[in-house]
Amino acid sequence: MGLNYVSLIGLTEGPELMQRYGSAGQLPFTLVFDQTGVLRYRKTGELRAAELSDWLTGLL
C-alpha cells in the first residue's frame, strides 16, 4: 500500500508515545495528528482501511 502521508513507526520512542497518548501497551495503536500537530484521532486495535480513509478525508 502506498502512503501519501507521514507514517511514524515508533521503535525506541514507541512505548513513551503509547503512554503519553493513552495506550496501556496494546498493539496496534494508531494516532492521527492534523497539520498543526493536534491529535485528532486515536485507536487501539485493528484499524480498517475505510476508517482511516474517513479520518484522513475529514482532515483535508
How much is the average pLDDT of 46-57?
93
All three cell numbers of 34: 492534523
Of the pLDDT bands very low, low, confident and very high (cuts 50, 70, 90), residue 50 is very high
Helices (H), 1-60: 14-20, 49-59
The model scores a pTM over 0.75:
no
State the cell numbers at 42.
486515536
Is the CB of residue 41 less than 8 Å from the CB of residue 49? Answer: no
